[in-house]
Amino acid sequence: MKIRIRIKAIGNLETGNKKEGGTWAARSMVLEEDGQLYPDRFAVRLTGDAAEKLQWKEGDYALATLSFTTREYNGRHLQDVYLKNLESDNL
């Protein structure tokens, strides 16, 4: 799903060590859909190199590609939203 968004908030970079070796990196962000009277907001997770090398700042507009997954945990269904790609919209 690709939508035009505005970056509302960018969380701090989180890092750690994987059990099987190597490291991981992640960052949380809040994105707001642009051009709506009542815009949707998405709390998303950005992982890997993209989280470490993020060049965007709060208030920037971009085209975002989102991925939605659902998982079960202790009998409850939880949804995760991942930011797959962020690109300039040139508007």
Are 88 and 62 contacting, i.e. CB atoms less than 8 angstroms apart? yes
- Residue 5: what pLDDT? 93
> Taking phi first (over 0 means left), then psi (-120 to 50 degrees means alpha), and beta for anything else, what does residue 43 get?
beta
- Residue 89: what pLDDT? 74
pLDDT digits (tens, 9 = 90+) for 44-63: 988 888 888 888 999 999 99
The string of DSSP codes covering 22-80 is SEEEEEEEEEEESS-SS--EEEEEEETHHHHT----TT-EEEEEEEEEEEEETTEEEEE
Structure tokens at 76: 């409850």
Q: What is the dihedral of CA 65, 56, 48, 9, to 10 degrees?
A: -80
Give this prediction's pTM.
0.81
**Span 67-80, average pLDDT:** 93
User: At residue 41, does pLDDT exceed 90?
Assistant: yes
